[in-house]
Amino acid sequence: MFLQFLAGRARQATELYILGDFFEAWIGDDDIDDAYNAEIVAALRAASDAGLKISLLHGNRDFLLGDGFAAASGIKLISDPYILSTPEWQFVLSHGDALCLDDTAYMAFREQARNPQWQAALLAKPRAERRAIAAHMREVSEAGQRGKENPYTDLQPTATDDFLRQHGYATFIHGHTHQPARHDHIVDGIHVERWVLADWHEACGECLVWDGETLQREVILPEKRA
């Protein structure tokens, strides 16, 4: 469905921002020749070549996306957090996981996974071994979520308010928590909106659309094939 989105609705925009976890797992840019990955890269390149400016920041599942992927797909890798200024408004974009401070086990993993030396050591391993490691990490994550009333940790409130303050009370957009919503924060007497992105599934996707005046959710449904 995302490929249909890239070839259709997305091209009505001038810019597209992807806020991490674009892939379930990315084991290194040398895996671009995998059939599934190659199809995604080709679709991104086609949209980019058609004039759509695509930017992507890393998530917790695709933190190994690198310059090789960016060059092949025609996208721009951006830092997290990223300040997006438009003529009308200012936004701060993030994957969101850096503020899930109450999940101490995940935060320890995040610190390790974002370490350049750890990444280099992982990328030095054969692809088959990296693929097995990624599958094991996913199994461990899913096992840790089973049986929990709410398997996903939300952003830590105090840290979130501090983040909004540090970034000039800009409208905050992020993903990671699997809890799509619009939150209203009052920070230093200032009203700040926080938008949480929704997951994409085969049956339905969702994007946020800024038209210069309002930010709105737009449901993306699969196109019916003739």
Encode pLDDT of 86-119 as tens digits: 999 999 999 999 999 999 989 999 999 999 999 9
Q: Output the CA torsion sign for 220, 63, 24, 104.
A: negative
Out of 147-156, 160-169, 206-215, least confident range = 147-156
Residue 139: what are its φ and ψ, rounded to 5°? -65, -40
Query: Residue 210: pLDDT above 90?
Result: yes
Domains defined for the chain, CATH in brackets = 2-220 (3.60.21)
**19 Cβ partners below 8 Å, 6+ apart?**
56, 57, 59, 93, 94, 95, 96, 173, 174, 175, 197
Q: What pLDDT, on a 0 to 100 scale, did the predictor assign at position 138?
A: 85
What whole-number distance in Å separates Cα of residue 20 and Cα of residue 62? 7
Residue 10's Cβ-side half-sphere holds a number of Cα atoms within 13 Å equal to: 25
Query: What is the percent of the chain where pLDDT is above 70?
Result: 95
pLDDT-derived band at 146 (thresholds 50, 70, 90) equals low
**165 Cβ partners below 8 Å, 6+ apart?**
187, 188
Contact between 19 and 59 (Cβ < 8 Å): yes
Count of CB atoms situated within 10 Å of the CB of 120: 9
| DSSP string covering 19-47 | -S--SS----GGGTTSHHHHHHHHHHHHH
What whole-number distance in Å separates Cα of residue 183 and Cα of residue 88? 21
Residue 63, both tokens: 């933190």
Residue among 226, 146, 122, 219 at smallest CA distance from 180? 219
Contact between 164 and 187 (Cβ < 8 Å): yes
Question: The pTM is what?
Answer: 0.93
Encode pLDDT of 36-75 as tens digits: 999 999 999 999 999 999 999 999 999 999 999 999 999 9
Burial of 136 (0-12, 13-18, 19+ CB in 10 A): exposed
Q: How many angstroms from the chain centroid is the CA of residue 217?
A: 16
Q: What pLDDT, on a 0 to 100 scale, did the predictor assign at position 187?
A: 97
